[in-house]
Every structure is written in C-alpha cells, then in structure tokens.
Structure 1
Amino acid sequence: MKMKFQAAFKAIDTNKSGFIECNELEAVLKTLGVTLSQEQVRSVFKAADLNGDDKLSIEEYEKLVRKAMPGTVK
C-alpha cells in the first residue's frame, strides 16, 4: 500500500517539490470531480497540515487519505 501512496503523492506533487501544496490539492480534487470552494479546500489543507508549514508531507497526505476514506484504505 505504501507504494500506492507514494505514486499518488508524486502525481499530485506537480512541481516536484517533494510536498503537496494547497493549489496542487485543489487541482487534484477538481480532477476527481470534487467541488469545493477555495475556502473549503484551504480548510481541508490546513487540517491535514499537522506541522503548520503550509505544505503536506507524504506522511500528512497518507493521514488525510486514511481519514477521508476510512475502511477503504489499509
């Protein structure tokens, strides 16, 4: 499963910074057909950004996905 998280993370990290930034999260949500306002995306992002550095690490991303999809991600 770790490989799937890493592959998805790399696909979302379009600028290849090694982190997911809010605009990258917003873009992938739109691609997936998730309609959220910029404020809602920012709120989700801030909740997932556990250390407050304004970017998501692979660990923060994995926690976000597991929380958003309980029972479907092992």
Structure 2
Amino acid sequence: SQGEGPDPYDEILQAFKIMDTEENGFLTLADLKQICESVNLNFSNKIIQEMIEEADNTGDGKISLTEFTSIMCQTGRFKYCAPK
C-alpha cells in the first residue's frame, strides 16, 4: 500500500543488485566470493559453493532473485517476508 515508506522488497532487490557484480540476474560463485572478500570474510570456494547449493532450488549452480528472496526471508530480517 502507498505511503508506508520504502517497499521492504526493494531492500532485498537492492542487496541482490549489489551482489550481482556481473549484472546477469544471478549470483554466482564469483559474485559471492567478491562480496565476501569485500567485507573481509575469506570463505573457501567450497564453503561458498555450499551456500549456493543451499539456496539453489533449480540446480543450475546460480542463485536467482527468487531463490535469493527465499533465503533472505529465512533470516527473518525483512518485513516483506512477514506473514500477512
């Protein structure tokens, strides 16, 4: 509805866009590695690959916006995901 401030979904979308360094609509191992390194989280490729596999519902080895949204909702930090 209008007038309630920013759309909570925009927060998830903006995070996805920041992480999608190749701007291809998916998060890849390279994207996640770059983000982790930028915040001094030095995870091995194996750990990052496991994160991708956890989120990757389609099995294509990449995280789509839909898959990313699902994972973000599981963290419980986003109002967008709250039960209506």
Establish whether TM, by shorter chain, passes 0.5.
Answer: yes
Which structure 1 residue ranges, 4+ long, deviate > 6 Å from structure 2?
none
Between the two proteins, the alignment pairs up a number of residues equal to 72
SS of residue matched to 1:51? coil
Task: Please list the CA deviations of residues 19-56 of structure 1 after superposition, one character each: whole Å capped at 9, or x if unmatched.
Answer: 11111012112223323211111111111111101111
Match of 2:78 in 1: 73
Runs of 5+ in structure 2 lacking a partner?
Answer: 1-7, 80-84
Q: Identity over the aligned pairs, expressed in percent?
A: 25
Runs of 5+ in structure 1 lacking a partner?
Answer: none
TM-score by length of 1: 0.81
1:48/1:34 CA distance change after superposition, 3 Å? same
User: For the aligned residues, what is the CA RMSD?
Assistant: 1.5
Please say which structure displays the higher CA radius of gyration: 2
Match of 2:57 among 50, 55, 73: 50
Match of 1:20 among 16, 27, 46: 27
SS of residue matched to 2:40? coil
Give, in whole Å, the separation in 1 of the partners of 2:15 and 2:78. 13
Check conservation: 2:29, 2:45, Cα contact below 8 A.
no
